[in-house]
Amino acid sequence: MLYLSMILYKIEKNFPVQITQNYQSSPQICMCQKISFADQEISEPFQDCLYVAISPASVPAKFPAPLLILQTSGSAPSGMENYPHCRVSPDMAEKIYAFILSAVHQDLAFISNKEKLLSLIKNNLGLEAILKTAYAHLNNPIFICSMTLHVHAKYSPGFTPKNLRSKEGIEYFEADYKILREQNFFERITSSRVPFIFPEKIMGETLLQAPMHTQNSVLGYVCVSQVNRPFDENDVEYVAMLSDIICLELQKNSSISSYSIESRDHFLIDLINGNLDDPEMLELRSSMIHFKISSHNWLMLMRLRQKDTDRTIDGTIGFLKRFHTRRLVAKYQDSIVLLSSDSKYELMPQEEFEPFKNYMEERNFVCAISSCFHDISHAPDYFQQVQELLKLHEGQKMTEPIINAADCLDQLLLFHNPYSNRLRLLIHPDIKELYSYDQLHHTEYIPTLRAYFENERNAVKTAQALHIHKSTFFFRINKISELIDFSLTDTHKLYYYEFSLKIMDYQFREQQIASESRLS
């Protein structure tokens, strides 16, 4: 909308004049008309018309409509001081009048364009129709971006920006975050209320950017690329209006929450893919999505055991976002990834864990939980860990719905060991000797040692687990000592014995799986 004060400001900005601005209010202006007062009487002037008098011989003491006096020669008429006025040459007076006519015409066109875009919202024609209509006016490609530089929507026929990339089906602008910080890009997006231009040397293209504000936050921004024609002053006003229109469209379709969630998804995916290795950018991005990073972090990766159309991943993501509101959840390829960050060394309370475990089991999901890590920038390493956990779960044909790295670090080591095809080389020779003796003499020395390790190296608990008397347990230990020369106080050897037994158990399980596969 064009107001009298705006017209006077634009005149002073575009012409070497200074207007004495004597007016009580600044009404909206929709028309412009010359008036001389000498031979022209207007009984009922339009209240939204700016009347321009060029060197009038006289002016009324009180004119009931906006009036601008351009005095070109002679003495000032009585009463001129009651209205905005200035002295100019005759030629400049005509140029100023033509300028006002053009400004009014452009404003009417602006209002018409806004009504056109609003009608698209009223008629439920959607965001694509809005962008297509805006493109017809701007004649330059338009992108709707989140605060993470991801592209939410676009209309750019026949044009792809130099720095537009695509990963996992998601488009984003690739940029040097260090340069963006130096140029205060994100601060300008979050604090600015008007569009601004970023030069080509920073973003790869000359871009006109307008923040999309809601009452409580900034969703992202409208980005117009200078491709087909250079930007002008009218583009700035139009793009500012366009960002407001797009916000209305998102609110109308309840897309604001999903738009924000999408930004949270992008943050999590960028994090696990190693795209947030800059600590300052990591902190900035997390603050943008209102996610607090704490000292204890876990990653969880969930995957369906088999394709199941009745229990979709999208439905489970919806459940997790409601159930774990303090955590980040995103779809990643055919899986679901969840990041938990807490000040306490506790992934989730028991009253939460049991329902979660039941949900995973009922819907045929397997969930891998990483080890706890303190530095959030190490997330890519722990994401690789949960991926390996799922492979281990599948390879070992485990049945439990939850596999926790903290409970099977040894199996992870064996599963991805470069000796995986020669694990027998890692078994301690004492254990091999004891195993051979059991096979030959039908003794139970290996099961006795295994039970000892499984029962916290406690003689009483081990005897109870084996259903034998404590003295029988020590008799067997003495016999083992005679065979392989070891002592229960030799912790160094005991460590290698226990690890060797784990290798044997792992190999036995591998052989079982291979045998079952041959039979099936």
**DSSP assignment string, 307-365:** --TTS-HHHHHHHHHHH-TTSEEEEETTEEEEEEEESSS-SS-HHHHHHHHHHHHHTTE
Chain-wide mean pLDDT for the chain? Answer: 84
Quote the tokens at residue 175: 């940029």
CA distance 265 to 231: 34
Write out pLDDT tens, residues 304-325.
Answer: 887 654 457 877 887 787 666 6
For position 369, what pLDDT does the model report?
94
Output the pLDDT for position 253.
65
Q: 324-343 pLDDT, tens per residue? A: 667 899 888 888 999 999 88
Instruction: Please state the pTM of the whole predicted model.
Output: 0.53
pLDDT digits (tens, 9 = 90+) for 392-421: 888 778 889 999 988 887 777 777 665 556
* Residue with tokens 């929450």, as numbered in its chain: 257
Check residue 323 and give its pLDDT: 65
For 196-205, 218-227, 380-389, which range has the lowest pLDDT when averaged over its residues?
196-205
Tokens, residue 35: 């008036």
What residues are paired with 20 via a beta bridge?
Answer: 85
Q: With 80 as the cut, is the pLDDT of residue 430 above it?
A: yes
The share of the chain scoring above pLDDT 90, in percent, equals 29
pLDDT tens-digit series, residues 155-177: 999 898 888 888 767 788 887 77
Cβ neighbours for 509, distance < 8 A, ≥ 6 positions apart: 396
Sign of the CA dihedral running 433, 439, 442, 443 = positive
